[in-house]
Amino acid sequence: MQLRERVNSALKQAMKDRAGDRLCTLRLINAAIKDRDIAARGEGSEEGVGEGEVLAILGKMVKQRQESARVYEEGGRIDLAQQELGEIEVIEEFLPKQLSDKEVETAIDEAVNATGANSIRDMGKIMGLLKSKYTGQMDFGAAGSKVKQRLAS
C-alpha cells in the first residue's frame, strides 16, 4: 500500500475511533503532502510528488517537532513538549525503520566504493546516492559528518 493511502486509511480510522490528537497529526501530514503537490503542479508536474518526496516531508516534520520539543523543554513547557513527542510517534509510524549506526557506516562504505570517491569534493555524489537509496531511513545531517570523516582519512 502506498504511503498516501496508508495515511488516508489511518486518518479515516482515527475519525472512527475519535482519537483527537492522532487525527490532528494525520491531518497535518495530509496538508503537508497536499501543499507539496500543489507546489509540484506549479513546477509542471501533473501527478504531484512521489513516495521519496513524501518520505522527505515526513522526515522534515519529525525534525521540526524534535526541535520544538527541545525548545519547549528548555522553556519549562513540558506539556507542549509531550504534545510534540506524541506527534512524532504518529509521524514515525509511516517512516521506514531507521538504520542503526553500524548499518549507516556500511551504507556509507558501499556508497564510497560505488562512486569511487576519494576526496571531499566527491561528497555530493555520495550523499546523492545515499539519499536515493535510504530516504527516510537515516539522518542525512549525521551521515554527512560521517562521510566527511571517512573522506578525510
Residue pLDDT, tens place only, 39-63: 888 777 777 778 878 888 888 898 8
114 and 54 share one domain: no
Residue-number span of the structural domain to which 82 is assigned: 3-92
**For residue 117, is pLDDT > 80?**
no
Distance CA 21, CA 78 (A): 17
Give the cell for residue 84. Answer: 510534540
DSSP state of 43: T
Q: Is 18 exposed, middle or buried (0-12, 13-18, 19+ CB in 10 A)?
A: exposed
Distance CA 125, CA 111 (A): 9
CATH of the domain at 39: 1.10.1510.10
| Chain position carrying cell 525548545 | 71
Give the cell for residue 28. Answer: 497535518
132 and 70 share one domain: no
Distance CA 111, CA 36 (A): 29
Based on the structure, what is the number of domains in the chain? Answer: 2
60 and 16 share one domain: yes
pLDDT value, residue 136: 72
Q: Which residues contact 94 (CB under 8 A, 6 or more apart)?
A: 3, 6, 7, 10, 29, 58
75 and 22 share one domain: yes
18 and 88 share one domain: yes
With a pLDDT cut of 70, the percent of the chain lying above it is: 98
With a pLDDT cut of 90, the percent of the chain lying above it is: 34
For the segment 75-103, the average pLDDT, to the nearest whole number, is 89
Q: Which of 71-75, 131-135, 138-142, 144-148 has the highest mean pLDDT?
A: 71-75
pLDDT value, residue 72: 95
- Per-residue confidence band for 139, with pLDDT thresholds at 50, 70 and 90: confident
pTM above 0.75, yes or no: no
| Contact of 33 with 4, CB cutoff 8 Å | yes
Per-residue CA distances from 81 to 57, 62, 151 (Å)? 21, 13, 38
Distance CA 48, CA 38 (A): 7
